[in-house]
Amino acid sequence: MLPPASSSATCHSQHGGASPSHSAKVLETHQTWTLDERPASCLRQEYVGIPRQLVQVSLCEEGGPQEGRPLTPAGQEGGQQPVQDPVEGVLPSIHADPEYPCELVGTWNTWYGEQDQAVHLWRYRGGYPALTEVMSKLRQNKMFLEFRQERGKMLLSRRNQLLLEFSFWNEPVPRPGPNIYELRSYQLRPGTMIEWGNYWARAIEIRQQNQEAVGGFFSQIGSLYQVHHLWAYKDLQSRENIRNAAWQREGWDEVVYYTVPLIQHMESRVMIPMKSSPLK
Rounded Cα–Cα distance for residues 64 and 153 (Å): 12
**pLDDT tier at 85, thresholds 50, 70, 90:** low
What does pTM read for this prediction?
0.73
99-154 tens-digit pLDDT: 999 888 999 989 998 888 888 899 988 888 998 999 999 999 888 888 888 888 88
17-38 tens-digit pLDDT: 333 333 332 222 222 223 333 2
Please answer whether residues 107 and 59 qualify as being in contact, where contact means their C-beta atoms are separated by less than 8 angstroms: no
Please answer whether residues 177 and 209 qualify as being in contact, where contact means their C-beta atoms are separated by less than 8 angstroms: no
Domains of the chain and any CATH numbers: 1-50 (no CATH), 54-165 (3.30.70.100)
Q: Picking from 13-17, 74-78, 164-168, which range would have the lowest pLDDT averaged per residue? A: 13-17
**pLDDT tier at 178, thresholds 50, 70, 90:** very high
CB burial of residue 21 (10 Å; 0-12, 13-18, 19+): exposed
**Bridge partners (DSSP) listed for residue 265:** 187
- Roughly how many angstroms between the first and final C-alpha of the chain, as a whole number? 36
Average pLDDT over residues 177-188: 94
Instruction: Let me know the angle formed at the C-alpha of 126 by 198 and 89, rounded to the nearest 5 degrees.
Output: 105
The closest alpha carbon to 33, from 6, 9, 3, belongs to 9
In percent, how much of the chain has pLDDT > 90?
Answer: 29
CB burial of residue 180 (10 Å; 0-12, 13-18, 19+): buried
Residue 88 has pLDDT above 80, yes or no: no
